[in-house]
Structure 1
């Protein structure tokens, strides 16, 4: 049965969870889903920071939205969030495991790094993602359908030249971030195999650097010089297409895939 290409990318009647969606890539993904017709649940460790964001998305795209608190480092928090999400509309169709982040203001040098910071970063970026996939994935398996999208990074398969950081007085990206994101890519592949029997698709997106405007200009220029497209990713634009593809019927013959969104950075490095 033929379907129009525009219909293939619609999400009308779907309910999507996007973790860590108060800003940046998570926010863009939530907006893309809402514009395509999905009702959207967004999470953050501080629910006060996303209530206004959820309301703004709902008003702009004329969909229902819900803000839920989530510290995904503990499974009981994840299960509580998943139960609340399911109770909201009675089904969950899409899960985007976006919550995570780098070292923040902690020491990035691996040999100087506090083990507690290493554990925390891995818990947020990897363990929490696995926890969310387990809790929500069980609900999807019971329903016989669903799409799980994990946000990894090109750091999962590409080492960084630390000299560039030092030259431009920028804090290093910690090794444990690469470990966590490598784990995200690895578990995406195996989870896709596990969940296929239940009609649940599992895919991954590995972004390169996106321009938050907070990097030393020398570092930003050095990075852009290593990208075939000559720039960093653009918020509000460059992540939306890949995310919508993986969430929509347009990707119904894709599972276990990792889409790289990096302007070509990884093909030159």
Structure 2
């Protein structure tokens, strides 16, 4: 029952997509700080390599970059094969890569739907499907279920006032996909999603640069998310204490949803 045991991920092998910056980097940093071996992947190879080097220097775990464009089917399959070749198993998969798009209703482009639904939903399925054998092997080796954590959004639960139609729809779809997958992966893998509120990331940079104080003051907690907030949630879901949690959508949002509408 001690905390060190309940939340231990030491020696686990994790993959965090979109791990070169933003929320993905926050999660990867939390994993590395607690002794995991973390692979990060993103389209920006330079950012990916720089983050891996910085996190490895901090330790005690290590971080390895495998750049790739995870909006592409072939890159997802290549990444899965690379993980299997290097490790032969995987304990934790965090599907964090994503994109957003905002435009007025009258001007919202058809291409936005293709881009966001592909990356935010379809490729989450592609990569999870491709990594099922490695996740099964991770569970067999550890005697504990492997974990899949999908990074969703409060915008997939509440209706945002901003005109981000494809984004909110894609996150709602991701939440439902999470529940659907949890019912089909079997007892050796858990699948959960975090519905995040405002965190400082590349995706939210412009919004927070203009409105951070306003957004923070609108929340019950009166601040935006810190790296520790999302990292701690992922560590809980990945350790022994999260072993019996699956098929859930967990808000990590500072109370964004309390008033019934995400103010993002």
TM-score, normalization: structure 2?
Answer: 0.89
Please tell me whether residue 195 in structure 1 is matched to residue 190 in structure 2.
no
CA distance in 1, matches of 2:255, 2:152: 16
Any unmatched runs of 5+ in structure 1? 162-171
Please tell me whether residue 151 in structure 1 is matched to residue 151 in structure 2.
yes
Residue by residue over 1:159-193, the C-alpha shift from the partner in whole angstroms, topping out at 9 and shown as x without a partner, is: 123xxxxxxxxxx4411101110011001011111
Please tell me whether residue 114 in structure 1 is matched to residue 109 in structure 2.
yes
- Bigger Cα Rg: 1
CA distance in 2, matches of 1:58, 1:209: 27
Residue by residue over 1:3-46, the C-alpha shift from the partner in whole angstroms, topping out at 9 and shown as x without a partner, is: 52212211122100000011111001001111111100000112
1:1-269 alignment, distance < 5 Å: 3-103=1-101, 107-144=102-139, 145-161=145-161, 172-197=162-187, 199-211=188-200, 214-215=206-207, 219-234=211-226, 236-269=227-260
- Name the SS of the counterpart of 2:99 in structure 1: coil
Indicate conservation of the 8 Å contact 2:22/2:200, yes or no: no
Residue by residue over 1:198-256, the C-alpha shift from the partner in whole angstroms, topping out at 9 and shown as x without a partner, is: x101011010112456436763343233311112212x322111111111111011011
CA distance in 2, matches of 1:109, 1:214: 17
Cα RMSD (Å) of the superposition?
Answer: 1.8
Indicate conservation of the 8 Å contact 2:31/2:61, yes or no: no
Evaluate the alpha carbon distance shift between residue 93 and residue 143 of structure 1 in structure 2; reply closer, same or farther with a 3 A threshold. closer
Residue in structure 2 matched with residue 169 of structure 1 by the alignment: none
Any unmatched runs of 5+ in structure 2? 140-144
- The CA deviation at 1:151 is 0.2
- The CA deviation at 1:143 is 4.9
- Name the SS of the counterpart of 1:51 in structure 2: helix
- The CA deviation at 1:146 is 1.2
CA distance in 1, matches of 2:106, 2:184: 37
Evaluate the alpha carbon distance shift between residue 173 and residue 245 of structure 1 in structure 2; reply closer, same or farther with a 3 A threshold. farther
Indicate conservation of the 8 Å contact 1:207/1:261, yes or no: yes
Indicate conservation of the 8 Å contact 1:21/1:44, yes or no: yes
CA distance in 2, matches of 1:217, 1:23: 17
- The CA deviation at 1:267 is 1.2
CA distance in 1, matches of 2:149, 2:236: 10
TM-score, normalization: structure 1?
Answer: 0.87
